[in-house]
Structure 1
Amino acid sequence: MNSGQLLVSARIVGHVMWWVFVVSALFAGGITWWSPYESLGAPFGGWAIGSGSGFIAFSPGPQWWQDPAVYAPVAFVLVVVAAVVDAVAARGLIAGIVTVAVPFIALGFFVLATPGGIDGVFLHSAVYLVLVLVGVAIREVWMRAGAPRVIAWQQA
């Protein structure tokens, strides 16, 4: 696989996982895995692990694969892995650093848009909407207009 094919593959995985992250985070009620006051939100086989209070308890709730809060961090990790592969395949230092940093910047906006994600901060719904849209826009604009072009790295 040449660097052009690797770059195209990383972009496809990155785009798909980005939208899995966005949708699952929205269905989960935000970035609930970031806050120290929230549990992971997913009972693993009936066992829930709390990060804030350090509890481990049996919870007869839905299975872990039914909770969208599980998919958000997994998809985000895959977005970051795809960004690293993208950065290495594109072979541009500055563009690579920005490509890897952009998902974390967008994540910051998602954390701000999570009600109670920052201790005691609750904003108006319209502000949450704007924060989510800015987070999405940052990544989309970079990947469509700022990231190195895929066609420039393809070999004939």
Structure 2
Amino acid sequence: MRTVRAAGHVGWWVFVVSALFTCFAQSPVSGMPRRYADYLPDDGFDEGNTFAMLMLAAALVVLMAAVAEAILGKRWEPGLLTIGAPIVGGALITVVALGGIGDARFSLWLLFALTLLGVAIREVWSRALAPTRLESAQ
């Protein structure tokens, strides 16, 4: 269980950081998401794709760790929350990486708030509220 949780924690932070760098890599001059730099050269395209692939791989690690932790915990209610927390938090981080939803573009303050909320959802559940190995064994 300890190894699974460690993999989930590391995978989560690789996901978060690579998601944020995905949008920043597309506009290396301003450090802003691409929509703010439409007339700049596309120098960040390859880097953006690399970060996006890293983001996807890390998301899969987080999901696999959450499913393994839910199975090892042997209780379906906290198991669903263990799987759901990184999915919800990750969805919010993905919205931030995209700069909004569809054609709707969000302000930087809203993106900042969504980042904090996404991280908080996953971190509070996994570090403070999820059952420990001892609680799961009972």
Settle same-fold status: TM greater than 0.5.
Answer: yes
- In the alignment, structure 1 residue 122 sits paired with structure 2 residue 105: yes
CA–CA distance in structure 1, aligned partners of residues 2 and 83 of structure 2: 16
Q: Taking structure 1 as the reference length, what is the TM-score of the superposition? A: 0.67
- Cα deviation, 1:45-103, whole Å, max 9, x if unaligned, reads xxxxxxxxxxxxxxxx7589x82111000000110000011001111110001101111
Residue in structure 2 matched with residue 16 of structure 1 by the alignment: 10
Residue in structure 1 matched with residue 92 of structure 2 by the alignment: 109
Contact 1:110 1:135 in 2 (8 A): yes
Q: Flag structure 2 segments of 5+ consecutive residues without an equivalent.
A: 25-44
Contact 1:111 1:118 in 2 (8 A): no
For 2:10, the aligned partner's letter is: V
The equivalences for 1:42-81 within 5 A come to: 62=46, 67-81=50-64
- Cα deviation, 1:125-152, whole Å, max 9, x if unaligned, reads 0110000110000000001121111344
Q: Taking structure 2 as the reference length, what is the TM-score of the superposition? A: 0.75
% identical aligned pairs = 35
CA–CA distance in structure 2, aligned partners of residues 119 and 86 of structure 1: 33
| Correspondence for 1:25 among 11, 14, 19 | 19
Over aligned residue pairs, what C-alpha RMSD do you find?
Answer: 2.3
Asked which structure has the greater CA Rg, the reply is 1
CA–CA distance in structure 2, aligned partners of residues 23 and 72 of structure 1: 8
Contact 1:115 1:123 in 2 (8 A): no
CA–CA distance in structure 1, aligned partners of residues 5 and 76 of structure 2: 17
Moved over 4 A (4+): 61-64
Contact 2:11 2:58 in 1 (8 A): yes
Residue in structure 2 matched with residue 143 of structure 1 by the alignment: 126
CA–CA distance in structure 1, aligned partners of residues 80 and 8 of structure 2: 15
Structure with greater proportional helix content? 2
Number of residues of Structure 1 aligned to a counterpart in Structure 2: 117
Q: Flag structure 1 segments of 5+ consecutive residues without an equivalent.
A: 1-6, 31-60
